[in-house]
Structure 1
Amino acid sequence: MAAIRANWKGYLKIGELSCPVALYTGASTSERVSFHTINRATGHRVRREFIDAETGDLVERDEQVKGFEVDKDSYVMVEPEEVAKAIPESNKILAVGAFIASNDIDTLYFDKPYYLAPAGPVENEAFAVIREAMRAGNVAALAHAVLFRRYRGLMIRAHGLGMVAHTLSFDYEIRSARDVFGGIPARKIQPEMLKLARHIIETKRGTFDPAAFDDRYEAAIAELVKAKLEGRSVRRKKAPATAKVVDLMEALRASAGVKTRAKPAAKRSAAHQRKAG
């Protein structure tokens, strides 16, 4: 197996204590099925080209420049060297500013996961001391660094013999929940409905097992490619039927395994009773 290359190397710094560390990608999409775009007529791959929207001319790479739109069809052009000057230089320091409870950050702010490991000898004592102190206190470190030409915040926590770091989204990048939830009306929930829903949750309580999550899209695409190579056809799988909920209470009772109460018989009208007599 080829050695995993670090995405970034620097120093984890807490006050006057520091140790060399390396950051490795924690999640990879390299195993996903990927497609190329092919010319149906020739079977050859096609390439992407940039075309001037007004003239229709091909624009070569060395003629392309970044542009910030300030008005319709009006741009401020920014050269690559200007972008490089504006971005802060990396000082290769992962500076810890504070320690917080491990569950203090809303997962909404989590961006990408990374593994953080000693960059020096495996027996790096300072790294082990920091890691075990964080584990004993059940705390995570809030740190910042210039990573991949951007200033980023990170949450770092102990994980096995190493640490896990999540880059964090900035507050301005997170949409306000009010924009989505603002139109949802407040409702008073019937006690029996809430009791049944809680019972359903309790009966389905489990633990998180990432291996139990199947990527059905990848499996379906892999099967499609295999079938085409073997000259087979793949039949479309039927979508599971979705029952229309007519009575929420009855649906809750059925899901909880509670027998449906029999509806009381309607009283016969007085006229009907006289006729029967």
Structure 2
Amino acid sequence: MPILAGPERPGFSFYRIATRPDGDTREKPEVRAMRPLWKGAISFGLVNVPVKLYPATESNDLKFNYLHTRCKTPIQYRKYCPYCQVEVPPEEIARGYEYEKGKYVILREEDLEAIPAEKTRSINIMDFVDLEEIDPIYFSRSYYLAPADMGQKPYLLLKKAMEETGKVAVARVTIRSRETLATVRVYGPALVMSTMFYPREVRPVTGMPELDFQVNLRENEVKMAVTLIKSMATSFQPEKYTDTYRQALLQVIEAKIAGEEVEVPARPEAGKVVDLMEALKASIELARQEKEKVAADVEDRKPRRRRKTS
């Protein structure tokens, strides 16, 4: 049963699942006009590029409210001081830093404003590097950059120069009063800025004790694993990867709203890998069958040419 678009229900974000002529009921992203987070400028040497900053991604997680099961009323969370045993009003709440166990220093807005920082709403380019030099583990969130206030020419100039050099910019940017590291790169017809973690924010991989092991691999096992990877290799097509859990959760929600009984399917037991080589061979065969199935589906969807009648 396709889930129809409807008004937003309390506690849930808006969603839409439509049925296409071919019966596909996958969720379709809605194209909505975006509103900029702020207007600022990219500092590129002595050149200023006026830009607008737009969020490039959004969360499609379904939002839940915690309810009182007796009356289905959303519960409230109150700010309570266990020492004074009173509910604390907003004007009596401040940010504090614990410098010793149980000892805090209060930081007020004027303290934070006194911190020297780069000009807000400014993306200050420091270096240009190759994108391949930056490990993806450093990337956090992405934002689209669009030209603003007669900034089309310097915007296009920066974009064109980055295309010809194949470089990406490393910059500092202040978002919501917090200075962070970022990259600016070409993304189709636009520039995209991705905020980054500082090196101290990336945990060392050596912190996992489970990696301290020694195992001997046979050459034919490695060859078989390489064969499996090659059989599964394809071009990256992001649209083919769907959030199956979200779709299943929406089906459960609609069934609950309609008063239907939700059936919990039996969870298949994971088979134990007895022999690694046998598992690799079986995986290669499954990958081959899957590719044949996909190719057959594509062939079936091609429009058939009608034969001319004499």
Q: TM-score range by the shorter chain?
A: 0.7 to 0.9
Structure 1: runs of 5 or more not aligned: 259-277
| Contact 1:87-1:150 within 8 A present in 2 as well | no
Q: Secondary structure at the match of 1:234?
A: coil
Tell me the TM-score normalized by structure 1: 0.85
Tell me the TM-score normalized by structure 2: 0.76
The one-letter amino acid paired with 1:93 is S
Structure 2: runs of 5 or more not aligned: 1-30, 287-310
**Structure 1 residue 182 displacement after superposition:** 6.3
The one-letter amino acid paired with 1:52 is C
Find the structure with the greater CA-based Rg.
1
Structure-2 change in CA distance of 1:181 and 1:25 (3 Å): farther
In 2, Cα distance between equivalents of 1:96 and 1:89: 12
| Contact 1:224-1:234 within 8 A present in 2 as well | yes
Structure-2 change in CA distance of 1:40 and 1:20 (3 Å): same
Structure-2 change in CA distance of 1:186 and 1:156 (3 Å): farther
User: Equivalent residue for 1:140?
Assistant: 168
Residue in structure 1 matching 2:252, options 199, 210, 224: 224
**Structure 1 residue 87 displacement after superposition:** 6.1
Percent identity reads: 26
* Backbone CA RMSD of aligned residues: 2.1
Residue in structure 2 matching 1:102, options 113, 116, 131: 131
List structure 1 segments (4+ residues) > 4 angstroms apart after TM superposition.
Answer: none
- 1:1-277 matches, cutoff 5 A: 3-29=33-59, 31-86=60-115, 88=117, 90-121=119-150, 124-180=152-208, 183-257=211-285
Report the more deviating stretch, 229-238 or 176-185: 176-185
Greater RCO (Cα-Cα under 8 Å, separation 6 or more):
1
| Contact 1:5-1:24 within 8 A present in 2 as well | yes
In 2, Cα distance between equivalents of 1:237 and 1:182: 34
Figure out how many residues of one structure are paired with residues of the other and give that number: 256
The one-letter amino acid paired with 1:85 is A
Superposed CA deviations along residues 34-64 of structure 1, whole A, max 9, x for unmatched, are 1122222222222211111334321111111
Report the more deviating stretch, 232-241 or 80-89: 80-89
